Structure 1
Amino acid sequence: METEDEQMQDVLSRSERLERLPFTKKLGKLLGTSGVGWALDAMDVGLISFVVAALAEQWGLTDAERSWIISVGFIGMAIGATFGGLLADKIGRRSVFALTLLIYGLATGASALVGSVAVLLIFRFIVGLGLGAELPVASTLMSEFAPKNIRGRVIVWLEAFWALGWIAAALIGYFVVAGSDDGWRWGLLIGAVPALYALIIRLHTPESVRFLETQGKYDEAEGIVQDFEESAGPDYAYAGPTVQSAEDAERLAVPQPDKSETIWSRTMRKRTAALWTIWFAINFSYYGAFTWIPSLLTAQGFSLIKSFEFTLIITLAQLPGYFVAAYLIERIGRRSTLAIFLAGSALAAVLYGQAAADWQIIGAGMMLSFFNLGAWGALYAIGPELYPTTVRGTGTGAAAGFGRIASIITPLLVPVFLSLGGNVLVFTIFSIAFAIAAGAAFFLPEQRGKAIL
C-alpha cells in the first residue's frame, strides 16, 4: 500500500490533468462551438461598416452621424468587456458567453426595424454590450481547457474564426446590403442568428474546470475532466487521488491559484499596464481603419458595390495571417509573434495611406489584414495566460474594456484627420499606434509552454 508521501508524488490537479492532454475530439468540439460564436461576433462588427456606407447614401448621413453609429457600439463594448469579465469570475464563463450572444443577437435583429438614427444608436449600444463581454470570456474559457503545449495555437485558431465572420459580413454586404434599398435591413436580420445560437452554447459547452473548483463544485469539475481524458484515450486515464476540498489540495500539495492577487497587485501591475497599452493601440488602429475603409473608398470615387468588392478581397488576407501566427506562437513565443505582426501592421498602414491605384489599395489592404489579424490572434492568446483563475476573466475583460475606449474615439477622429491631412495622415497615425503596441509587447512575460493556475 502506498504511503501518503508516495501518493503525493503521483497526484495531479485537475488543471494539470487537462494540461497534459493532446488535442482531442472533445477539445475540437469546444473550439468549434466557441469559434462559431466568435465568428458571429465578427460578422456583426463587420456588417455595421457596410450598413453605415449604405445608409449614408439612403439617409444622407453626415460624417458625424456615421461616426456615432460606429462609436456607440464601441461604448457598449467597453462597458460590456469590463463588466462581462467581472461577471465571468462570479457566475461562470459559459453563462456569460451564452447571455452575451443572446443580448447582441436580439438587439441586432431589432436594429433592422429602425427608422431613425436615434433609435439605431440605442440598439447599437445594446449590441455593443453583448459583443464586448463575449470576446474576452470566450478566450478565457478556451485558455482554461487548452493543453499548455498548444494553448497559444488553439487560441489563435479560435481568433481565426473572426476572419470567417468578417468574410461573411463582407459577403452579406456585397450580395445583400448593396442589393436593394432594404438590403441593410435584411443584413441586420441575418445578424440576429446569435440569439438562436446562444441556446446551443448554453446546452453543449462545459463550464471551466478551474472556475468550478473556485466555487467548490469538485464533482462537476471531476466529471468534465474525465470526459476530456476519455476523449484522449486510455493512455491518459488518471487513477491517482483527486482533490475534493481545499484541505485535500493543501494536504496533497496541489498548486492552487492565489486568491489574494488583483490585476494591479505588485506582481501583476507591469503586465497589466503593458497589456492595456497594446489593447488601446491596436483597437485605435484596427477599428479606425477597418470600420471606415468602405466609406473611405466611396469617398475616393468608387461605387458602393466596388468599395464592398475591394473590402471583401482585403478581408480574405486575414485567414493566412492567423495561420502564420498560429504556427509562430508556439515556435518563437508569444511576445515575439505579437511584436512582429504589430510591426508589420505599422508598415502596412503607411503603405495603405500612400495607395492610389486599385492594385495598391488592394495590396496594402491585404497586407494590413494579414498582419493586423495575426496580431489580434497573438494578443488573445497572451491575455488569459497572464492571470490566475480568480482574476483571469477580470484581467482579460478589463484590458479589452480599456482598449474599447480607443475604438470609441477613433471613428470620431477619422473625419478630423481626413480634413487635416487626408488618408496619408489617417494611416500614419494608425502606424504610430501599431509601433507603440509592438514596443509594449516586450514588457509582457513570455508564457509559452507554461501551465496556468
Structure 2
Amino acid sequence: MPHSNALNRLNRLPISRFHKATLLAVSFAYFFEFADINSFSTTAPKLIGLWGVTVDQVAYVTSLSFLGMFIGSIVGGTIADRWGRKQALVYTTLFFGAFSFASVFSWDLVSLGVFRILTSAGLSAMTVVGVIYVNEMYPAAVRGKYQAYAIVIGICGTPVTNLIASAIVPLNDWSWRLVYLWGSLGILLVLFTRHLKESPRWYENRGEHAKADAVLREIETRVAAEMGPLPEPAPPVDETPSARVPLRLLLQKKYLFPTLLLTVLWVTQTIGFFGYSSWAPTLLAKEGFSVEKSVFYVALSTVGAPLGAYLASLVTDRFERKWCLVAFGTVIALCGLFYGLTFSPVLIVVFGFLVNLFERGYTALGYAYSPELFDTRGRSLGTSVSYGLGRLSNAAGPLIVAALYNGHGYQSVFYFIAGTWVVGAIALAVFGPRTKQARVIAAQNEPAAV
C-alpha cells in the first residue's frame, strides 16, 4: 500500500482520551523511575553506620550505577528499534522493577551494588524509550508540553520517595530495605499495557505501512468518536525505510553534530544534577547533620521538582527550547552554588528547592529537545547514545566529588557542580539548533520531518 503518512496523521489529531491514557501510562513508568533513581543516596547515610560504608565506597557504587545507566541507554535504544517502542517501554520497566526488588534482599555492599547497577541499567533504558515514545505519539505542536506533563506527574516519585525514606530509614536496622521495595512497584506498569499503542512511525520506518495504517486507523477512530470529524492530513514526506540502524549512521554529518551537542547537554546535566542529588544527604551527614535531618532536608527540597516540570510545560512550546535550557541551566548553577555556601537549614532547603525546581524543568525541556534534532531513522540511536554517554560520564563524577570533598572540603564540590552547568549553558547558547520553526510548520499541517 502507499505511504501511511504517520507523522502528519498524528500531527492533526486533537488531544483526546487516547493521548491522556498514554500520558498516564508513561507518567506511571516515570514516577517509579524517579522514585528509584536516588534510592541508594537516601539509604547510604544509614549504611555508613550500619555496614561501615565509607564515602569512597559510596562513590564507587554510584559510579558503577552510572556505568549501568550507559549500558542501559544503548540497549534501550537498540530494543526500541528492534522490538518497538511499546514493548521496549514495558520490558525495561519490568527489568528495573525486578532488580529493585532484588535489592531488598542484599546482604552486603557488593550485592547491593550489583543489584543497583542492574536497576540503573533498566531505569536508563526505560527513560530513553519513554522519551522517544512520547515524541512519536503526540502532535508536534504540543509534544514538548506533554513530555513535561509526564515528568510533572512522574517526578513526584522523587519527593514522595525521599519523604518515605526520611520516615522509614531511621526506624531500625532493616527498614532501609523498604525503600527498594517501594521502587520495585514500577512493575505494575503491566496494568496499563492495553492502553498503549505501538508507534506508527516506528512501523513506517521499518517499511511496514500496513501495520502503521492499522494502528493509525484505530487511533483516529477513537479520537473521531470523541472529538468529531478530523481534518485532512498534509501530504506525506517520504523517508527511507530502515529496519536496522547501524551505529556508524551517527558518523554522518546530519547526525554527528546533534549527537555531540546532546552529549554535552546530558554530560553536564548528569554530573551537575546527580553530583548534587546523589551526594547531598551523605555530605550533609558528614558535615554534622543527623541522618534524619540530612534526609529530611533533601526530601523537603525535592518538593520543588514537580513544580519545575510544570514550569517547563508552560514555556516549552511557547519559546525556543534552546534558550529555555540556557536560562534554566544558568539559574541552577547559581542556586547550587549558594546551596554549598550555607549551613543554615532554612537556606539549605530554599536553595535545594530551587535547584530541584529548575533542574527538573531543565530535564523536561531536554527530553523534548533531544529527539527533535533527529529524523525518525536516527532518533532512537542518536537519543540513546547521547543520553547514555551523559550517564557514563557520571561514572567519573562521584569519584571527582569524593576527591574534592576529601581534598578540599564541602564547598569545593559545589563550585565544581556549578561549573558543569555553566559549561552546558554556554554550549547550548553557542551551538544549539533552534527547533521552534519546525514545530510551527508541523502544527500548520505542512510537510515537515520534525
Give the alignment's TM-score, normalised by structure 2: 0.91
Looking at structure 1, the residues matched to 146 and 73 of structure 2 have their Cα atoms a distance apart, in angstroms, of: 22
Looking at structure 2, the residues matched to 85 and 219 of structure 1 have their Cα atoms a distance apart, in angstroms, of: 24
Map residues 415-430 of structure 1 onto 2, 5 A cutoff.
415-430=402-417
Looking at structure 2, the residues matched to 395 and 432 of structure 1 have their Cα atoms a distance apart, in angstroms, of: 26
Alpha-carbon shift at residue 85 of structure 1 (Å): 0.6
Alpha-carbon shift at residue 258 of structure 1 (Å): 4.6
Alpha-carbon shift at residue 255 of structure 1 (Å): 0.6
For residue 383 of structure 2, give the secondary structure of its aligned residue in structure 1.
helix
Alpha-carbon shift at residue 253 of structure 1 (Å): 6.4
Change (3 A) 1:267 1:300: same
Deviations 1:170-203 (A, max 9, x none): 1221122222211111221222212332x23544
For the pair 1:292 / 2:284, whether they are aligned, the reply is: no
Alpha-carbon shift at residue 165 of structure 1 (Å): 1.1
For the pair 1:446 / 2:434, whether they are aligned, the reply is: yes
Q: Which residue type is aligned with residue 229 of structure 1?
A: E
* Aligned residue in 2 for 1:75: 67
For the pair 1:257 / 2:239, whether they are aligned, the reply is: yes
Looking at structure 1, the residues matched to 224 and 231 of structure 2 have their Cα atoms a distance apart, in angstroms, of: 14
User: Is this contact kept in 2: 1:317–1:367, CA < 8 A?
Assistant: yes
For the pair 1:402 / 2:389, whether they are aligned, the reply is: yes
For the pair 1:325 / 2:316, whether they are aligned, the reply is: no
* Aligned residue in 2 for 1:27: 19
User: Is this contact kept in 2: 1:229–1:237, CA < 8 A?
Assistant: no
User: Is this contact kept in 2: 1:163–1:316, CA < 8 A?
Assistant: no
Change (3 A) 1:257 1:52: farther
Of 213, 224, 244 in structure 2, the residue corresponding to residue 222 of structure 1 is 213
Looking at structure 1, the residues matched to 194 and 14 of structure 2 have their Cα atoms a distance apart, in angstroms, of: 25
User: Is this contact kept in 2: 1:229–1:236, CA < 8 A?
Assistant: no
For residue 105 of structure 2, give the secondary structure of its aligned residue in structure 1.
coil
User: Is this contact kept in 2: 1:71–1:411, CA < 8 A?
Assistant: yes
Give the alignment's TM-score, normalised by structure 1: 0.90
Map residues 23-422 of structure 1 onto 2, 5 A cutoff.
23-197=15-189, 199-233=190-224, 237=229, 254-258=236-240, 262-422=249-409
Q: Which residue type is aligned with residue 11 of structure 2?
A: E
Q: Which residue type is aligned with residue 333 of structure 1?
A: E
Alpha-carbon shift at residue 228 of structure 1 (Å): 3.0
Deviations 1:211-230 (A, max 9, x none): 01223433432233233333
Looking at structure 2, the residues matched to 356 and 132 of structure 1 have their Cα atoms a distance apart, in angstroms, of: 33
The size of the alignment, in residue pairs, is 433
Looking at structure 2, the residues matched to 388 and 278 of structure 1 have their Cα atoms a distance apart, in angstroms, of: 19
For residue 115 of structure 2, give the secondary structure of its aligned residue in structure 1.
helix
Deviations 1:240-271 (A, max 9, x none): 79xxxxxxxxxx96212356893331123222
Looking at structure 1, the residues matched to 239 and 41 of structure 2 have their Cα atoms a distance apart, in angstroms, of: 42
* Aligned residue in 2 for 1:245: none
User: Is this contact kept in 1: 2:272–2:421, CA < 8 A?
Assistant: yes
Deviations 1:404-430 (A, max 9, x none): 122221122212111232232111111
Alpha-carbon shift at residue 370 of structure 1 (Å): 1.4
Q: CA RMSD in A?
A: 2.2
For residue 156 of structure 2, give the secondary structure of its aligned residue in structure 1.
helix
User: Is this contact kept in 1: 2:8–2:236, CA < 8 A?
Assistant: no
Deviations 1:278-328 (A, max 9, x none): 110110111111011111111121111111211111000112211111111
Deviates more, 1:85-94 or 1:187-196: 187-196
Looking at structure 1, the residues matched to 223 and 355 of structure 2 have their Cα atoms a distance apart, in angstroms, of: 39
Work out the percentage of aligned pairs sharing the same amino acid: 26
User: Is this contact kept in 1: 2:104–2:181, CA < 8 A?
Assistant: yes
Deviations 1:359-413 (A, max 9, x none): 1211111111111111111000111111111221111111111001222211222
